[in-house]
Amino acid sequence: MKLAFTLLFILMNLTSSWACNIGEKELMVRVAILKGDQAQHLTFNGPLLPPIVGDSSITKKDFLKLIDSVKKVYVPIFRDLKMNFKIEHMWDDKQENAFAGVRGDDRYVILYGGYARHKLMTPDAYLSVICHEIGHHLGGFPKKVGGSWSSSEGQADYFSTLKCMKNVLREDFQNEAAAAALNLPEEVKKQCRFQFKAQNEYHICLRSAKAAEEHGDVIADLVDRGGNNMVHLTTPSEEVVAQTNLRHPSPQCRVDTKYQGALCNVSPLIALDDEDEMKGTCHFNNFTIVGNRPACWFVHKK
């Protein structure tokens, strides 16, 4: 118990609010806390505590199923890149955040049930969260400052729907039924249909687009609890940056980025590059109009 409190104290002094990718020291503290908690739960002989219940539609079973579906696809991909992909998680932890970190050849994603249980979170929105964290590892250019291993926040968002959700959801046999249940504007349906002629790809586009908006609702609520910071798929940000923003864009800009990633019809099997911003993406220089990273955070090379 004393060790757990010591680790927690260290963690509180290491982390900053809204951190998304973390240094090796904080990474190992978080992993130690999670593994310590898990071991404690496994050996606990006292009375069972009541299950944690949140307001979202995600259950612990959903949480674990999403993690397994991602690992099934991405463990082999990381292995081919000579990396070990590890997801550490704790359903009972109340933290409303997720993290990515690196230690040697080990590439970590750290997940907490508190974020999954947010009142506005949905399973597809949470899948986009996991995919965002993978995007810090595999998202390519632009990277964070200082030669970081991590792709920028906007790029991790773009990767989440450009590559990750498409790769994971293509294994789901319920795409048509899931897409049919979504409340989406006709404009979004038309754009997805224009970009994707194959039925399964079209349905994945719809699910990814809706996930972008749903996760945007969660972000907006966390930024301004109970406020009126609304986001929508059909009201994109009007912001135009003079230079690429490597930090978290605004909630609406993040929705726009994930939506465009969903619409981009470049194969999700084409890996992104750490230096070439065009490889594997939609890009104005490739004469694409739909699916490009939005100007609210990204400046395309001429």
The model's pLDDT over 240-261, given as tens digits with 9 standing for 90+, comes to 999 999 999 999 999 999 999 9
Antiparallel, parallel or unpaired: β 106-112 and 98-103: antiparallel
Average pLDDT over residues 6-25: 60
134 vs 10, more confident: 134
* 296 lies in some domain: no
Indicate if the pLDDT at residue 74 is higher than 70.
Answer: yes
Q: Is residue 292 part of a domain?
A: no
Please give the residue range of the domain that contains residue 271.
2-286
What backbone torsions phi and psi does residue 46 show, to the nearest 5 degrees?
Answer: -80, -170
In this predicted structure, what is the pLDDT of residue 113? 96
Nearest to 101 by CA among 117, 84, 118, 113: 84
Cα 8 to the center of its chain, rounded Å: 25
Write the pLDDT tens digit of every residue in 275-284: 999 999 999 9
User: What per-residue confidence (pLDDT) applies to 18?
Assistant: 54
* CA-based nearest residue to 260, from 197, 208, 218: 208
Q: Quick check: 132 pLDDT over 90?
A: yes
Average pLDDT, the chain: 88
**Residue 122 lies inside a defined structural domain of this protein:** yes
240 is a domain residue: yes
Question: 15 lies in a domain?
Answer: yes
Is residue 294 situated within a structural domain? no
Identify the top-confidence range among 22-36, 145-159, 161-175, 214-228: 161-175
Closest CA to 169 of 195, 190, 198, 189: 198
Asked whether residue 85 is assigned to any structural domain, the reply reads: yes
Cβ contact 294:155 at 8 Å: no
Domain count across the chain: 1
Q: Report percent pLDDT > 70 for the chain.
A: 86
Q: What pLDDT, on a 0 to 100 scale, did the predictor assign at position 227?
A: 67
Beta-ladder partners of 7: none
Q: Give the residue-averaged pLDDT of 214-235.
A: 89
What pLDDT is attached to residue 205?
Answer: 98
The answer to the question of residue 301 being in a domain is no
Place 101 in a pLDDT band, splitting at 50, 70 and 90: very high
For residue 146, what are its two tokens? 């200082």
